[in-house]
Amino acid sequence: MTFTQEGNVTGRDTFRLGDDGTVTAVDSLQGTVGFTAAQGTWDCAGKDLVATTLDFTPDGQTLTRADYVASFDRKQQTLTGTKTLVAFPIGGNPFTDQGTPAGSFTFTGVRIPPRVE
């Protein structure tokens, strides 16, 4: 996936949707801004994909919840949507506490094609 904010490319992600409803996201910026790979769950709501992941800072001080809402184009094998970040102190509850808004990004993604030999 390619992330943009105000028209500028801000990062790239791989986004793995598991058959069991799990998701893993690895961000090109995670090392530079101090985060780990994010993990969470996904489901479909109508025609949209909805996913939530949690990401932690290596110093153990902050966790960030990322909320994704996206739509698929099956013919083009693309995904388009938004990612909204909310930060919490490590003792906070990312599902009940308000948290601190930490940004919103739009993204587009293409399916990584299987390798053909």
Winning range, highest mean pLDDT, from 67-76, 90-99, 107-116: 90-99
Sign of CA dihedral 112, 29, 68, 17: positive
- Give 7-14 contacts, CB < 8 A, sequence gap 24+: 10/105, 11/105, 13/107, 13/109, 14/112
pLDDT on residue 31: 57
Task: Give the pLDDT of residue 85.
Answer: 92
For residue 36, the tally of other CB atoms under 10 A from its CB is 15
Query: Can you tell me the distance from the alpha carbon of 94 to that of 62, in angstroms, rounded to the nearest whole number?
Result: 11
Bridge partner list, 88: 63
The 10 Å Cβ neighbour count of residue 37 is 14
Q: What is the pLDDT of residue 29?
A: 67
Give the mean pLDDT of the chain. 88
Global model pTM greater than 0.95: no
> Is 88 strand, coil or helix?
strand
Share of the chain above pLDDT 70, in %: 94
CA 65 to each of CA 30, 77, 102, 109: distance values in angstroms, whole numbers, following the listed order: 14, 26, 9, 20
Task: Classify domain 2-107 at the CATH class level.
Answer: mainly beta
Q: Read off the pLDDT band of 32 (50, 70, 90).
A: low
Reported as a single tens digit per residue, the pLDDT across 53-91 is 999 887 888 899 999 999 988 888 889 999 999 999 999
Contact status, residue 12 vs residue 30, Cβ threshold 8 Å:
no
